[in-house]
């Protein structure tokens, strides 16, 4: 075939990054992101990016970049410009007419035109070793071409070219409309993007219940707004048309989140129940939470990109659990393992997952080999894949629904649960299930559990039928789980839990989850120690939120700031927190200065202290309870 090198740049070591176009099926590749030429007619082309070692002795990497052609041959790709950034990454810009050009962390993950005879700009960033950091379309309904690219000191890409599109994506424009003639020039800045994923989303009615989802995105940057694209995907990776804040969207919406502010996107709960996942790409420091309402109230923080996970699972006594999966890389089959409390494999299953697909189901719905007894099961579910995905655990029981983040990495030697409760209040009882699970495949984990009341004193509680005076020693087998259940009896007592593992001695990798049952059902992964956090808070329309704090370091005063969706400070409060004590208060129970109007409030809460503490958001409806992790701030 034919090759044409169209641009070159050199990194700090003297290695040359070359970009161009090829028609060859045997173009030399090395450590390739895309190793196969997308063949079509003999006139079809793929872009290529090649990094030549500084001494010319070989290739650090060399890869195709391209999408598939149509039967008429459309689907050409050409790289026209390359620039090397301060970290040695190669930033490549060009043009494509392929609707399946490879996208990764893409601000625009779709081809801009309905016509395959048109072209979009593409921008791809490859790391110094050749892995793709992001790859995105940039274009509208007509012809769009990029001719040059530069890199700023912060890693932002600056792209210039021309366009015939009146629908070219516009953000902070100097000129907001196409000015006529054959072409307009354009300049675009692509900031170092941040991705968020929610592996579970739902909207609509099923039976007598209506499910709605509220996506809460909050900006951690105090001075700069963040622009984000929100994509809602169905089970097959297609976009779900959905009503957000009263406006119908075709599965994609662009939003701006003010500095220190919050943006809320709420579905209407109308129509048949549809499930899927949510993908968000932002140019700023955005974090997020999704709340589910209908089958109870549940919430989960944004999920991480991963290739493996472990989560505790339970069945029996009206409870069932499973996992929701969201495809982020290539189509793949995930390998699932089910282990009992002793860490022994009792079943294996394979779950196909489309490239942008979604699947959610309970462990009782999977095809296991061999078939395990799941009538009253306690254990762990592990999953692994060859490509990236996101995951969240799901729990269902007695008409309610809850979610839990999965475990993808080990915790430090100590971890915390900032909220704990057991006993009766009014006509309802609350019980807690403490599940500790060991990620190590070879070594047992030993840990001591400390239960403290609000004043820091040892909390007397019944665990698995035995009274515990504030602490208990446990051992968890390799890849096993230890479940400790309270009895829900006596007057309601609240507090916090600290788990100290002897990982340095035993080598076990211990993590944990706590489930609350009684006022609905809720669960939260172990909290980390921190000195500053931010989280979304809401009140009104039958829901209220607050904050649970656990003192870990010395005595201190945690200063809370309440900000509205625009990021403006509306009030501050102080919470005295002694070492080892616990405090849990709703927004309306805190002493704010000045007193804010909380009758229909949504915004963010920031907390800061001089010593270590742990924190979790608490959510309460008329007959339901949920917890959420906070986002740690530096």
Q: For 117-131, 173-187, 365-379, which range has the lowest pLDDT when averaged over its residues?
A: 173-187
What pLDDT was estimated at residue 452?
Answer: 87
DSSP conformation class of 245: T
Query: 542-587, pLDDT tens digit by residue?
Result: 778 899 898 988 899 999 999 998 899 999 999 999 988 889 899 9
Residue 409 has pLDDT above 60, yes or no: no
All structural domains of the chain with their residue ranges:
3-192, 195-301, 306-405, 414-525, 531-627
CA-nearest of 79, 72, 78, 5 to 40 is: 72
- Helix or strand run (H / E) with residue 132: strand 132-138
Comparing 400 with 576, the larger pLDDT belongs to 576
Query: 515-524, pLDDT tens digit by residue?
Result: 666 655 566 6
Query: 373-382, pLDDT tens digit by residue?
Result: 999 898 888 9
CATH (one of 3.40.50.1820, 3.40.50.1860, 1.20.1740.10, 2.60.290.11) for 195-301: 2.60.290.11
For 123-142, what is the mean pLDDT?
90
What pLDDT was estimated at residue 91?
Answer: 97
> Sign of the C-alpha dihedral, residues 450, 452, 457, 463?
negative
CATH class of 306-405: mainly beta
DSSP string of 142-157?
A: S-EEEEEEEE-TTS-E
Structure tokens at 288: 């997020």
Q: Which CATH code for domain 531-627?
A: 2.60.40.4070
Query: 307-322, pLDDT tens digit by residue?
Result: 888 877 888 877 788 8
What pLDDT was estimated at residue 214?
Answer: 86
Residue 479 has pLDDT above 50, yes or no: yes
195-301 matches 531-627 in fold: no
pLDDT band at 236 (very low <50, low <70, confident <90, very high): confident
As a three-state string, the secondary structure of 228-239 is EEEEEECCCCCE
Rounded distance between C-alpha atoms, residue 618 and residue 537, angstroms: 9
- Helix or strand run (H / E) with residue 503: helix 503-506
Residue 296 has pLDDT above 70, yes or no: no
Residues with Cβ within 8 Å of residue 607, at least 6 apart in sequence: 532, 533, 534, 547, 549, 558, 559, 560, 561, 615, 630
Structure tokens at 158: 């600056």
Rounded distance between C-alpha atoms, residue 119 and residue 466, angstroms: 69
Fold classification of 414-525 is Hypothetical Protein Tm1070; Chain: A (2.60.290)
């Amino acid at each position: 075939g034919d090759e044409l090198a169209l641009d070159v740049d050199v990194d700090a070591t003297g290695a040359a990054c070359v970009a161009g176009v090829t028609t060859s099926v045997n173009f030399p590749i090395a450590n390739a992101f895309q190793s196969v030429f997308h063949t079509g007619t003999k006139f079809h082309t793929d872009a290529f990016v090649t990094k030549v070692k500084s001494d010319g002795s070989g290739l650090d990497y060399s890869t195709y970049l391209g999408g598939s052609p149509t039967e008429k041959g459309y689907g050409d790709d050409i790289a026209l410009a390359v620039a090397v950034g301060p970290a040695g990454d190669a930033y490549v810009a060009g043009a494509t007419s392929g609707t399946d050009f490879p996208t990764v962390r893409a601000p625009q993950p779709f081809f801009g035109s309905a016509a395959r005879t048109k072209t979009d700009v593409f921008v791809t960033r490859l790391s110094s070793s050749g892995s793709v950091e992001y790859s995105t379309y940039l274009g509208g309904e007509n012809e769009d071409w990029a001719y040059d690219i530069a890199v700023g000191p912060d890693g932002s890409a600056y792209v210039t070219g021309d366009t015939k599109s009146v629908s070219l994506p516009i953000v902070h424009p100097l000129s907001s409309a196409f000015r006529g003639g054959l072409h307009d020039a354009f300049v675009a800045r692509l900031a170092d993007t941040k991705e968020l994923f929610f592996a579970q989303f739902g909207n609509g009615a099923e039976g007598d219940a209506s499910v709605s989802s509220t996506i809460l995105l909050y900006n951690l940057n105090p001075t700069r707004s963040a622009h984000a694209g929100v994509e809602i995907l169905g089970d097959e990776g297609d976009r779900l048309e959905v009503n957000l804040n009263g406006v119908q969207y075709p599965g994609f919406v662009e939003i701006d989140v003010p500095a220190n502010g919050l943006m809320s996107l709420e579905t209407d709960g109308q129509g048949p129940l549809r499930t899927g996942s949510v993908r968000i790409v932002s140019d700023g420091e955005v974090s997020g939470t999704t709340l589910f309402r209908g089958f109870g109230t549940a919430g989960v923080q944004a999920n991480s990109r991963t290739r493996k996970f472990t989560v505790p699972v339970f069945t029996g006594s009206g409870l069932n659990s499973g996992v929701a999966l969201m495809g982020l890389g290539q189509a793949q089959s995930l390998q699932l393992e089910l282990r009992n409390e002793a860490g022994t494999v009792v079943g294996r299953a394979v779950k196909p997952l489309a490239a942008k697909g979604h699947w959610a189901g309970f462990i009782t719905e999977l095809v296991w080999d061999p078939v395990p007894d799941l009538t009253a099961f306690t254990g762990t579910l592990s999953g692994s894949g060859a490509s990236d995905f996101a995951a969240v655990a799901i729990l269902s029981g007695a008409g309610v629904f809850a979610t839990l983040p999965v475990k993808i990495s080990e915790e430090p030697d100590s971890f915390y649960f900032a909220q704990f409760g057991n006993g009766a209040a009014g006509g309802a009882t609350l019980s807690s299930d403490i599940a500790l699970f060991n990620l190590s495949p070879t070594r047992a984990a030993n840990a001591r559990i400390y239960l403290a009341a609000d004043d820091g004193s040892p909390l007397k509680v019944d665990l698995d039928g035995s009274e515990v005076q504030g602490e208990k020693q446990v051992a968890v087998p390799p890849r096993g789980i230890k479940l400790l259940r309270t009895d829900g009896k006596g007057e309601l007592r609240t507090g916090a839990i600290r788990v100290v593992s002897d990982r340095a001695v035993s080598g076990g990798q211990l993590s944990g989850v706590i489930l609350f049952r009684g006022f609905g059902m809720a669960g939260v992964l172990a909290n980390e120690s921190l000195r500053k956090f931010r989280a979304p808070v809401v009140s009104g329309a039958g829901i209220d939120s607050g904050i649970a704090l656990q003192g870990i370091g010395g005595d201190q005063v945690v200063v809370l700031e309440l900000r509205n969706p625009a990021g403006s400070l509306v009030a501050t409060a102080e919470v005295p927190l002694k070492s080892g004590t616990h405090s849990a208060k709703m927004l309306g129970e805190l002493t704010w200065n000045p007193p804010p109007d909380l009758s229909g409030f949504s915004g963010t809460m920031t907390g800061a202290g001089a010593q270590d503490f742990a924190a979790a958001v608490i959510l309460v409806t008329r007959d339901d309870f949920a917890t959420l992790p906070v986002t740690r701030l530096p």
